Amino acid sequence: MKRDQRGFVLSGTALLLVLPAMLLTASCLKIVGMGGEAVSLQVTADKVYYTGRDLARVLENMWASNILADNRHTANARFDNLVDNYNVATGLLVNFTENWKLWTYYVQGDDVEYVYAGTYYCKVARGVGDNWFYYMDSYHWMADWNDITLRVQKIGDNLLITIYDFDPGADIWVVQPIDVYWGSTLIFDDVRSPTRGIHPTVGDSYQENGNITQLTASFNIQDPRGAARYSGSENLG
């Protein structure tokens, strides 16, 4: 064998001494890699969790500060703005589902209209103390928000919903009955019916016992890779 072709040949004993060191080195590199992935995943999970906790705090402050009850229509748009801000600030994916309990139903022939609080056809305003006023444009004919006004009053652990006012209309054509629902419960049937006396009218009330929630805001947060997720909801009102 020529000199430049010679190499180092391990004897059996030398090979046995070197192999454990090689295996330990490979194992350490693998452990370091796995540890890095675990730390990264934990950091992501913590980020998602604390974002969810912070979001719950912000929702409570929004309700307490009347940002959702500021006598402007489309209160749900505040949630859209909130989602955009969190998406930009955190890089996470945030989704909202708003569930307002108070809504109205109107039907006249083929014309059926639903009006939910938080949408364009409803304004929610905070009154003095624990009183809220819902101004509903139930017919969608014009944006005057005076077809029916409902007051929600918090009394202890209960809520008292009262027909506060409604537009009497100019003639029989525009005086069409409106149904009022609290969640899935019909609480006022045929408000503004031309046949007064047997239908709910101004001053009539309905009490919801042991349920002080006017709005449930549910949210879901996850990182773009789907490795961590946090879901929660806040009951407001």
Task: Quote the pLDDT of residue 15.
Answer: 40
Q: Domain limits at 177?
A: 98-208
Residues 102 and 143 in one domain: yes
**128 in the same domain as 29:** no
Position 133 in a domain: yes
> Which residues of the chain fall short of a pLDDT of 50?
5, 7-10, 14-34, 170-172
Are 103 and 175 members of one domain? yes
State the pLDDT at residue 169.
Answer: 66
Helix/strand/coil (H/E/C) assignment for every residue in 204-232 = CEEEECCCCCCEEEEEEEECCCCCCEEEE
Position 16 scores a pLDDT of 43
Query: How many other C-beta atoms can be found within 10 angstroms of the C-beta atom of residue 88?
Result: 8
The predicted structure's pLDDT at residue 31: 44
Assigned domain for 179 exists: yes
Residue type (1 letter), 130? D
Question: What DSSP state is assigned to residue 113?
Answer: E
pLDDT in the model for residue 180:
95
HSE-CB at 67 with a 13 A cutoff on CA atoms is 15
How is 133-195 classified by DSSP, letter by letter?
EEEE-TT-SSS---SEEEEEEEETTEEEEEEEEE---SSTTT---EEEEETTEEEEEEET-SS
**What pLDDT score was predicted for residue 194?**
63
pLDDT at position 202: 87
Number of domains in the chain: 2
Same domain, 102 and 197: yes
Confidence (pLDDT) at 45 = 83
Shared domain check, 201 and 129: yes
| Residues sharing a CB contact under 8 Å with residue 2, sequence separation 6 or more, in sequence order | none
Give the whole-angstrom CA distance, residue 51 versus residue 54. 5
For residue 48, the model assigns a pLDDT of 87
Number of neighbours of residue 163 by Cβ within 10 angstroms: 22
| Same-domain status, 50 and 102 | no
pLDDT of 2: 53
* d(C-alpha 94, C-alpha 219), whole Å: 7
Summarised one tens digit per residue, pLDDT across range 41-74 is 777 788 888 888 989 999 999 999 998 899 999 9
Residue 225 located in a structural domain: no
The residue type found at 72 is R
Residue 197: per-residue pLDDT: 61
- Block residue for tokens 């999970």: 45
Please list, in sequence order, all residues whose beta carbon lies within 8 angstroms of the beta carbon of residue 185, skipping any fewer than 6 positions away.
none
With 0.85 as the threshold, say if the pTM is over it: no
Q: Is residue 135 part of a domain?
A: yes
Chain center to CA of 97: 4
